[in-house]
């Protein structure tokens, strides 16, 4: 279904009008990006007759990567490039919860022609047109839809930007949304405080979330190289860089959320770079310990460190094979979309899943990386491999068993 999004910028009460900045984006840019990431195929921006700026179209097209046109609210029609099945109208004078807009756009279904839905706060209107057309009559159609709509949707937030206080409130709400319910203990009480502070600084800049992902990967590679050099200094530098990698790893996702710069490609870039950094770190630790330590227990001598590093890497690769297959099948790239069996409190898993459900916070990357940092300070970083090697294999086995059960379930399940 083709969806036309109309951005109503005719009556914005914000302190600086459409240019009002909130978390690094102007109101008009924020609304355009939001409509784009939520599935709009084309945008028409309605502005007062004396404020038409044709150059907006090119600039906002670069923001959204979909066709954008500017029209006067008093125009007889606003031409579009194709016919549309549905129209969505967003007030550019408001800041929206992305989840609410995604859900609202998603209610459009071919079985309900002519249906009109609107949020309770009257800022967001979505309707299925009775017939497809390629011309919108701005003033008439907007008024008609506003009169027809009835408040029926809930479950998200919308903040009308009509004062400086509303700007501050919307900004706080956007950054608060970066704190996720499934954050690990270290992420929740340490990493997020630092990463959100960094994200606030970067939000007004041209730095893209993918640029931050590249920086985190470089930090991960540097940590692995330092670990491979061995000795206390090498392991300490590795622990510090690995912890920095973990903290800054939250920045790309935070920028993507507050600036509506989501993409599956960006999700994959983040996931793959994180996984490769972990693999290199495990192997680097094994090499560094093998080269510089001499206290490995057992009959293998120092080769034990190599075996442990390889074992941790093999367990990681096995997990990656399972959840990459799932992500590809579901069109996702974000590892957080993968539901681990031991994270589903309602799941009746096997003994491995039950053990992991009790200790799941200790298997999260934020906790593992912070533990590595503490071990590095104490001079015992390589000894973490004694936990990582069997731990990664257990997690991989749990993921594999989960997918085997899922594939054997009936469609009705």
Single pTM value for the model: 0.83
- Which helix (H) or strand (E) segment holds residue 73: the answer is none
Domain ranges of the chain: 3-172, 178-408
The pLDDT tens digits for 337-367 are 776 655 554 445 556 555 555 566 677 889 9
- Write the DSSP symbol of residue 191: I
- For 137-209, list the strands marked E by DSSP: 151-153, 158-160
How is domain 178-408 classified at the CATH fold level?
1.20.120
Are 3-172 and 178-408 in the same CATH fold?
no
Residue 402: C-alpha distances to residues 269, 328, 409, 410 (Å) = 25, 17, 11, 14
Euclidean distance between CA atoms 108 and 103, whole angstroms: 9
The pLDDT tens digits for 94-113 are 998 887 787 777 654 444 44
The pLDDT tens digits for 145-189 are 655 554 455 567 889 999 999 999 999 999 998 998 878 889 999
Residue in the structure block whose two tokens are 């970083």: 381
How is domain 3-172 classified at the CATH fold level?
Spore Coat Polysaccharide Biosynthesis Protein SpsA; Chain A (3.90.550)
DSSP class per residue in 257-278: HHTT---HHHHHHHHHHHHHHH
Length of the chain: 413
């Amino acid at each position: 279904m083709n969806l036309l999004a109309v951005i109503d910028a005719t009556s914005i009460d914000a302190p600086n009008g459409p240019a009002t900045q909130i978390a690094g984006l102007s109101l008009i840019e924020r609304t355009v990006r939001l409509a784009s990431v939520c599935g709009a195929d084309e945008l028409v921006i309605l502005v007062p007759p004396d404020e038409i700026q044709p150059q907006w179209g090119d600039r906002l097209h670069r923001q959204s990567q979909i066709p954008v046109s500017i029209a006067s609210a008093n125009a007889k029609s606003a031409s579009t490039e194709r016919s549309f099945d549905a129209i969505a109208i967003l007030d550019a004078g408001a800041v929206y919860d992305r989840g609410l807009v995604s859900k609202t756009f998603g209610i459009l279904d071919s079985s309900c022609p002519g249906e009109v839905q609107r949020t309770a706060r009257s800022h967001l209107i979505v309707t299925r047109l009775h017939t497809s057309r390629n011309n919108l009559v701005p003033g008439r159609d907007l008024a008609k839809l506003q009169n027809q709509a009835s408040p029926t949707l809930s479950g998200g937030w919308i903040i009308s930007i009509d004062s400086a206080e509303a700007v501050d409130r919307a900004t706080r709400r956007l950054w608060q949304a970066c704190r996720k319910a499934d954050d690990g203990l270290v992420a929740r009480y340490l990493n997020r405080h630092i990463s959100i502070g960094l994200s606030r600084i970067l939000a007004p800049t041209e730095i893209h979330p993918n640029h931050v992902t590249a920086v985190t990967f470089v930090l991960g590679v540097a940590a692995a190289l330092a670990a491979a050099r061995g000795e206390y200094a090498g392991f300490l530098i590795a622990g510090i860089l690995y912890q920095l990698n973990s903290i800054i790893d939250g920045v790309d996702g935070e920028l993507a959320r507050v600036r509506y710069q989501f993409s599956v490609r960006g999700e994959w870039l983040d996931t793959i770079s994180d996984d490769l950094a972990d693999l290199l770190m495990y192997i680097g630790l094994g090499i560094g310990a093998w080269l510089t330590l001499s206290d490995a227990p057992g009959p293998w001598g120092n080769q034990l460190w190599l075996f442990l590093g390889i074992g941790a890497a093999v367990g990681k690769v096995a997990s990656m094979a399972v959840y990459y297959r799932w992500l590809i099948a579901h069109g996702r790239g974000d590892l957080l979309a993968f539901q681990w069996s031991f994270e589903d409190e309602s799941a009746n898993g096997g003994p491995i899943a039950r053990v992991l459900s009790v200790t799941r916070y200790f298997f999260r990357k934020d906790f593992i990386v912070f533990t590595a940092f503490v071990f590095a300070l104490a001079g015992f970083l390589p000894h973490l491999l004694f936990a990582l090697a069997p731990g990664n294999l257990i997690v991989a086995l749990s993921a594999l068993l989960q997918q085997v059960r899922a594939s054997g379930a009936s469609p009705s399940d």
